[in-house]
Chains A and B, each alone.
Chain A
Amino acid sequence: MTDEPNAAPAAPGLAGLLPVALSAVLFAGFLALVPQVADGGAIRLAWDWVPTLGIALSFLVDGLSLTFALLISGIGALVFLYSWAYLGRKPEFGRYTLFLTGFMLSMLGLVLADNLIALFVFWELTTITSYLLIGFNHEQADARRAALQALFVTGAGALAMLAGFILLGFTAGSFELSVILAQGEALRAHALYLPILILILAGTFTKSAQFPFHFWLPNAMAAPTPVSAFLHSATMVKAGVYLMARLHPALSGTEIWMWSLTIFGAITAVFASVVALRQTDLKQALAYTTLMALGTLTLFLGQESGYAMTAFATFLIVHSLYKAALFLVVGNIDYATGTRDARILGGLARTMPVTAFAAALAAMSMAGLPPFLGFIGKELKYAGALAVASEPLVVAGAILIASALMLAVAGVVAIRPFWLPPGGAFPRQPRPAPWPMLTGPVILALLGATFGIYPDTLERALVAPTVAALLGSAEEAKPLVLWAGVNLPLILSVATIVLGVTIYAFKLRLRAALARAEAALPSFDAGWDRFLKGLNRVAVWQTRVIQPGVLRFYIFVTFVTVLIGAAGTMLARGALPALPSLSTVTWDGLALSLLIVAGAAIAAVTGSRIAAMAALGVVGIAVAMIFIVFGAPDVAITQLLVETLVVVLVAVALLRLPALDPPGTRDRRPRDAVLAGAVGLTVTLTLLAVIERPLDRSLTDYFETASWVEAFGRNIVNVILVDFRALDTFGEIAVVVIAALSAYALLRTTDKRRPE
């Protein structure tokens, strides 16, 4: 599952540098907005999109969306720079850049959108572009499967979410988020609150890979490493977290919100950090720690307190910085040695000192050691957990376990490959990474350290405005400080470090135990395969039922549909005709009707071909006679001619065809007879209902008066056919010609499959 990085750094190319410039410009633009937003001035832009449905293309820049936008564009710029060196020599690099740029822009649209429908469109754009990115190495079956899995899981969640959005929009009377967020009280009291919440959480939990939908995320590691760095740090999976944060003012504060987010978040965090330790592939280990971070963020969004929100905002930034840095570090290790196996790697500090330095800084931030931003984040997490009203100990306990395991994983990623002796031979001689691949990790790691030492800047610029967006007031934000004195969070921090180091020391034994436990437990990933297989089986079964390949079945269903449609409508509308009067019946009309009835009956039941042919002839001639009796001699002539031809053709065909029924059988089908009778009755009733109504003769009147005056013909029917409706007649002739040509072609072709 390696993605074969470049042999050597590429020469500068437009495809490589253009997106770097684009995202850097965007980043600078967002950065320029920071002072205004930090002063409480949210910026809103709107264009009409589908005004009749109340859908606008509107954007909102407040603390929350600006924080996300900065992370996305900033980390985006570094990832693009990295990709240029990492993948620039690949022939598919142009496509890769296109996908990744599309993804970044969709993600920016998602976090800035102020309209639910626009947000949904951007949300699905990220789903599609991430599908393309995860499946970028499409020659590998793993990558294709992972991409499809991510698409299905997040796509299914998004559909539920769309339903939730629509309910929410109608409940609030607007699809504009800025309007919806102001109606928290009314929404929470509304009868539709629960369905809305469940549907939207289905979208956010799948997108942000919360347990039990977590399984797609580690598989998404099939993507090239820079993509993983981007998806996992600031984007894709954070989209779900973003949406929960965005809707926090409108939907939070109820028991169900608090419990579902707390429970799912806590389970995800603990479960993921335990599984992370078990991984030997560095990239996989990092993937699981992303799950842990998402769980923690979800958990905090379940709460209301200023501590929890400050912890959320801070940890969001901390995690994005160190996670992107560490993924890029792993990419460098892969590039240098050709492997990501933690059991083999070691002693790389000499070959790649810069990477080792960045890895150490980022890992210490991840481990939550002072003086890094991660330490402040962890202190706030404990403070936030202890501020949880109902079950502070459970929440704090979950965070303690997760943080300790996180510290151990940080050790696996940053200590083992660089400072300890190697555990085996590398696939290739280690080589240093080129500068574009070092810039990203170093900048991100240094930022983690700088913000740790000078947290005030970050607090004023991003954390407090984010908390203001969540709770409505920047006053609620708690200060970010490195040394808050000896208090409970500090004690918990010390406990975390001790526990984490212990776990690290015993990690080999733990890993073996975890591997055994994992083998014993049912796997979600395998469950997914079973689910897909089951889905396929249902599809096969359903196809067999609906399309059995039996012509009679299709015809039967068609007639049943006609019957239900026509008879059902008549019954439902009460349009049944009155009993007709038969006073105008003439003797010749009655005789011809009886002929038709007799002919139809004989044709239907006879087993003899000759009798059937004669019956068809009788019906045809009787119909022609009706045309004569009721003033349609032209129609009658045509009918007689056609009827004669029908009988001749059938007779010719019968010379070469076998008997109607196989020997010893008779054609008796009571079920078909019932349906046939019902359809016949429906036609009779429909026709009776039609002739009850007065006839609209306006067209006939027109033809009668215009036939001689305009078209100089005294036979009105002929004039209609060859003059007023000449094009119809031309079409009719074309149909006959096509039928004749096709019949000729059918008779002329030779058949290779003729049975012996």
Chain B
Amino acid sequence: MEALLAVTIGVLVAGAVYLMLARNVLRFIFGLVLISNAANLVIFTAGRLTPGEPPLIPEGADAPVGTVANALPQALVLTAIVIGFGLFAFALVLMFRAYTSLGTLQSDEMRVAEPRDDGL
């Protein structure tokens, strides 16, 4: 199952990279969302997949009984999801603001910091 997910993640990354290379910054943000999902899945998959057994300790026991899912990558992914969302929200607002200021979503035309004809 891990192998199948590895292939799936590969496709997800390919789509994300393709979007991030686009001229339109909105597409870049779509790519950003996809690549965060891909990263989370990579961490999750690298910790191995255990179907149907959440890492919980039953009443009366001191440790999980039997094989449960790996808790460590889950904790990491939880953090990553939230931070990824923070990044996404900020990027979206930044893009929105850039559009209201510059009147374009095409990154090639956003040349305020590095004008085309700077003589240096």
Contact = CB atoms under 8 A, between A and B. Distances in A.
Contacts of B3: 580-582, 688, 691
Given A642-B85, A653-B96, A747-B97, A725 B1 contact: no
Contacts of A543: 120
A671 B48 CA distance: 34
Nearest to A667: B22
A593 B97 contact: no
B1 A721 contact: no
Given A589-B4, A619-B12, A732-B82, A556 B105 contact: no
Contacts of A616: 30, 33-34
Interface string B3-47: 111111111111111111111111111100110011011101111
Given A604-B19, A687-B9, A626 B57 contact: no
Contacts of A596: 8, 11-12
A66 B9 CA distance: 74
A72 B45 CA distance: 73
B114 to A, nearest CB: 3
A324 B40 CA distance: 75
A550 B107 contact: yes
Interface in A668-723: 669, 672-673, 675-677, 679-681, 683-684, 687-688, 690-691, 695, 697, 699-700, 703-705, 707-709, 714-717, 720-721
B21 A669 contact: yes
Q: B interface, by DSSP: helix, strand, loop or mixed?
A: helix
Nearest to B68: A631
Given A600-B12, A683-B13, A633 B54 contact: yes
Given A616-B34, A632-B74, A684 B82 contact: no
Contacts of B79: 721, 728-729, 732
Interface in A552-570: 552, 555-556, 559
A604 B18 contact: yes
A576 B55 CA distance: 32
A687 B72 contact: no
B21 A555 contact: yes
A186 interface: no
A324 to B, nearest CB: 45
A228 B23 CA distance: 60
Given A600-B15, A720-B71, A691 B6 contact: yes
A683 B9 contact: yes
Contact of A680 (B10, B19, B87, B90): B10
A601 B81 contact: no
Top 5 nearest A-B pairs by Cβ distance? A680-B14, A549-B114, A684-B10, A631-B69, A580-B3
Given A634-B54, A717-B55, 8 more contacts: A549-B113, A645-B85, A667-B27, A673-B18, A687-B42, A704-B68, A707-B63, A751-B101
13 contacts: A549-B111, A603-B19, A632-B54, A634-B54, A642-B84, A656-B96, A683-B38, A687-B2, A690-B46, A708-B57, A720-B71, A743-B93, A747-B97
